[in-house]
Amino acid sequence: MSGFEADLPAIDAAASVLRDAADALDVSLAPAGDLGPGRLNAVVSTLLTHAEADVARARDSVSELAGSVTRVRDSYVELDTGAASRFDQGSW
């Protein structure tokens, strides 16, 4: 009714893919036991801690993208619903 048409199922699918990707990034990185002599355990632990933080930031970003896509979809629905309502009321 508003003169444009959004592909709502495609937008929903994109949001779903992003949510699934965010879920897939929900990982815990930890060494699988003793890694060897010297400081190797401490170094690997530090590296994994930093990597885990990077992955968490990526997960948060992807989750935010999924939310943004959902908000875009909701905006299209709201605009289209409002236009249809005005058309039905004859105020178009």
How many angstroms separate the CA atoms of 42 and 45, rounded? 5
pTM: 0.73
Residue 3 lies in a domain: no
Boundaries of domain holding 62: 8-86
Question: For 22-50, what is each residue's pLDDT tens digit?
Answer: 999 998 888 777 878 888 888 888 999 99
Asked whether residue 91 is assigned to any structural domain, the reply reads no
Angle of helix 40-88 relative to helix 8-24, nearest 10 degrees? Answer: 160
Residue 81, domain member (yes or no): yes
Average pLDDT, the chain: 86
Count of structural domains, the chain: 1
Is 1 a domain residue? no
Distance CA 75, CA 81 (A): 10
- pLDDT of 63 reads 97
Question: What confidence score (pLDDT) does residue 67 get?
Answer: 96
Model pLDDT, residue 1:
46
| In a domain? residue 2 | no
Q: Does residue 25 fall inside a structural domain?
A: yes
